[in-house]
């Protein structure tokens, strides 16, 4: 299958892409500043350009764009809107635009996070984004045409990022387990799945 991985050079992407290629998939990486193709998920025209450049694809995986941390007492609607732009609306745009560009039966695999289900200080935006992605996937799964599928992987703290983020008390998920979840979404037949990879 020809698969676009948005965020292919990131923490998850750099571990997922080689596995996809080893399994015989033709993988095209994309990102805002890295990858074979460029895409800015906050810009609809950029998403359209990505699909034109990629050609007909059988799968899209998005492992890009972390939700920014926030301080609730100073959080504003504008800051929340900015946070939503790439992590939520950008991923939604990959599906809404992609349904008109991808091959019949194509799959979309998005990425949310544990804060949809587990509240944590300093990540209100992340919780809102992840919860919204879960709801979107449930709805999109029954609306997508031509046998297309959509799922979302919701990781906890990724083991490769333990030293980067201060979420003491969260049990990390190992990268082999996480990669396996993405593979199942790409290669399997499920749709509307919320894969809670919580370690």
Residue 132 sits in a domain whose CATH number is 3.40.50.720
Report DSSP letters for 72-101, one per residue.
GGG--HHHHHHHHIIIIIIHHHHHHHHTTT
pLDDT score for 157: 81
- In this predicted structure, what is the pLDDT of residue 20? 98
For residues 84 and 78, what is the distance between their CA atoms, to the nearest angstrom?
A: 10
Please give the Cα distance from 113 to 101 (Å, whole number). Answer: 27
The pLDDT tens digits of the residues spanning 107-127 come to: 999 999 999 999 999 999 999
Q: Quote the CA–CA distance of 191 and 146 in Å, as a whole number.
A: 13
CA dist., res. 133 & res. 108, Å (int): 12
Q: Provide the residue-wise pLDDT of the chain in tens; the chain has 199 residues.
A: 999 999 999 999 999 999 999 999 999 999 999 999 999 999 999 999 999 999 999 999 999 966 678 999 999 999 999 999 989 999 999 999 999 999 999 999 999 999 999 999 999 999 999 999 999 999 999 999 999 999 999 999 887 665 566 666 788 899 999 999 999 999 999 999 999 999 8
Residue 102's nearest CA partner among 63, 47, 42 is 47
Pick from 135, 148, 161: nearest CA to 63: 161
CB 83 within 8 A of CB 93: no
Number of C-beta neighbours around residue 74 at 10 A: 7
pLDDT value at position 199? 80
Provide the domain count of the chain: 1
pLDDT value of position 65: 65
Domain boundaries, position 114 = 2-197
């Amino acid at each position: 299958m020809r698969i676009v991985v948005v965020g292919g050079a990131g923490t998850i992407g750099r571990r997922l892409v080689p596995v996809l290629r080893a399994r015989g998939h033709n993988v095209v990486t994309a990102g805002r500043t890295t990858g074979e193709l460029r895409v800015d998920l906050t810009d609809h025209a950029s998403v359209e350009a990505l699909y034109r450049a990629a050609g007909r694809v059988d799968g899209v995986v998005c492992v890009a764009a972390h939700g920014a941390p926030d301080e609730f007492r100073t959080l504003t609607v504008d800051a929340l809107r900015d946070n939503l732009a790439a992590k939520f609306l950008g991923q939604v745009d990959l599906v809404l635009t992609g349904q008109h560009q991808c091959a019949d039966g194509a799959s979309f695999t998005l990425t949310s996070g544990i804060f949809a289900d587990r509240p944590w200080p300093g990540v209100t935006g992340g919780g809102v984004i992840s919860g919204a992605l879960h709801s979107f996937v449930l709805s999109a799964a029954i609306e997508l045409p031509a046998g297309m599928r959509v799922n979302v992987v919701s990781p906890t703290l990724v083991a490769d990022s333990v030293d980067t983020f201060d979420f003491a008390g969260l049990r990390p998920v190992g990268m082999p387990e996480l990669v396996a979840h993405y593979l199942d979404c790409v290669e399997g037949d499920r749709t509307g799945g919320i894969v809670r990879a919580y370690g």
